[in-house]
Amino acid sequence: MSATDTEHQPPPVSPDLELFCPRCGYNLRGLPSDNCPECGLKVDRSGAGVSRIPWEHRRRIGRIRAYWRTLVMRRQALAEEVMHPVRYRDARLFQLITVLITAAPLVVLTALPLPLPAYGAAAAPIGSFAFPPGYVMDLVIPLLASTALRVVVPLAIVLFLFAMTGVPSYFFHPPHLTVVQQNRAIALSYYACAPIVLLLPAGIAGCALVAGGVAKPDLSRDYFFAWAFMVLATGALSVAAVLLTWWSSLRLLRQVTACSTARVLTLAVTLPVAWALLAALILVGVPWVAGFALLVVWSFQ
């Protein structure tokens, strides 16, 4: 055997390492056979002590390549990593980078000052403009005031995406798993956020629509079909990103934890509700509080 072959061989598996069947979660530590006694699956023990998630080897293969390979990694291959050690900090860093990449065009759009179109509310006669009821204005005015602080809305977008992609982790520690399995499953749950990156092209298309509308107010009339296609593509990509993130979390939960159908259905129903509540709390609540505080400061000047 050559020296090169020796260097590329996986490290020997420690007898104290927790090994779990990727299909049923049975603890294989100390068993002489490679077949799981619970479900009969043949388990490859070679390299069981080393994670095969590319992101955890980014220093060796390069950060961009490791991120891309992890982004397109099959859910089944990712679920099988429950039998390997998984670094929690690496998973959270992958989630954070995915969120920042996804939010980048939306942050740029909301942070930059955009001129108002000439045909807006300012051009309408005062007598023809119907103001909403007072209680509606009490809610709207602080939101409008928050736009004076350019950092508020971008921060709210990043916080929402980070919270949105972190919600599934609360379901990845069912009580029938050992503590080691629960910790690995929770770390793996953060990799389920990969499909949310589809919001990146949707955000870029949305920015192009807004920029085109500001530069040429008659864009939707002069280039109706192109404009309509861009709108539909932006909406379709946004819906696909949310649905794929939802589906990815459900599949990974079932494959990683071998949990009951009831737990998967609970996650399926809870995720959209939790996302809606987070949107109301962060995307609306945070700017409203910041805008209200700004109005209070202005009132003393």
- 132-163 pLDDT, tens digit per residue, is 555 567 778 888 888 777 788 889 999 999 99
Alpha-carbon distance of 153 to 133, in angstroms, equals 25
Is residue 181, in this structure, part of any structural domain at all? yes
pLDDT value, residue 146:
83
Task: Kindly report, residue by residue over 25-56, the tens digit of the pLDDT.
Answer: 666 665 656 667 667 666 665 555 678 899 99
| Predicted confidence (pLDDT) at residue 126 exceeds the cutoff of 80 | no
Is residue 129, in this structure, part of any structural domain at all? yes
Is residue 28, in this structure, part of any structural domain at all? no
| Predicted confidence (pLDDT) at residue 269 exceeds the cutoff of 80 | yes
Packed helices 88-111 and 63-71: angle between N→C axes, nearest 10 degrees: 90
Is residue 190, in this structure, part of any structural domain at all? yes
Q: Which two tokens stand for residue 156?
A: 């709210």
Q: Assign 282 a pLDDT band (cuts: 50, 70, 90).
A: very high
pLDDT value, residue 89:
94
Average pLDDT over residues 110-125: 49
| Contact assessment for residue 83 and residue 45, using Cβ atoms and an 8 Å cutoff | no
| Predicted confidence (pLDDT) at residue 16 exceeds the cutoff of 50 | no
Would the CA dihedral through 23, 26, 28, 33 be positive or negative? Answer: negative
* Residue keyed to tokens 């910041």: 290
pLDDT value, residue 171:
94
Is residue 71, in this structure, part of any structural domain at all? no
pLDDT value, residue 141:
83
Is residue 261, in this structure, part of any structural domain at all? yes
Task: Kindly report, residue by residue over 200-216, the tens digit of the pLDDT.
Answer: 888 887 777 776 666 66
| Sequence-separated contacts (24+) of 2-10 with Cβ below 8 Å | 10/46, 10/47, 10/48, 10/49, 10/50
Is residue 42, in this structure, part of any structural domain at all? no
Is residue 179, in this structure, part of any structural domain at all? yes
| Contact assessment for residue 241 and residue 199, using Cβ atoms and an 8 Å cutoff | yes
* Residue keyed to tokens 């007598």: 127
Average pLDDT over residues 83-92: 89
Alpha-carbon distance of 33 to 8, in angstroms, equals 24
| Contact assessment for residue 146 and residue 299, using Cβ atoms and an 8 Å cutoff | no
Alpha-carbon distance of 117 to 90, in angstroms, equals 45
| Predicted confidence (pLDDT) at residue 124 exceeds the cutoff of 50 | no
Local structure of 11: helix, strand or coil: coil
| Contact assessment for residue 143 and residue 288, using Cβ atoms and an 8 Å cutoff | yes
Q: Total domain count for the chain?
A: 1
Lowest mean pLDDT among 20-24, 229-233, 256-260, 263-267: 20-24
- Amino acid identity for residue 118 in this structure: A
Indicate the pTM of the whole model: 0.76
Residues belonging to the chain = 301
Distance of CA 142 to the CA centre of its chain: 28
Q: Which two tokens stand for residue 169?
A: 């982790």
Where in the sequence is the domain holding 92, given as residue range(s)? 87-299
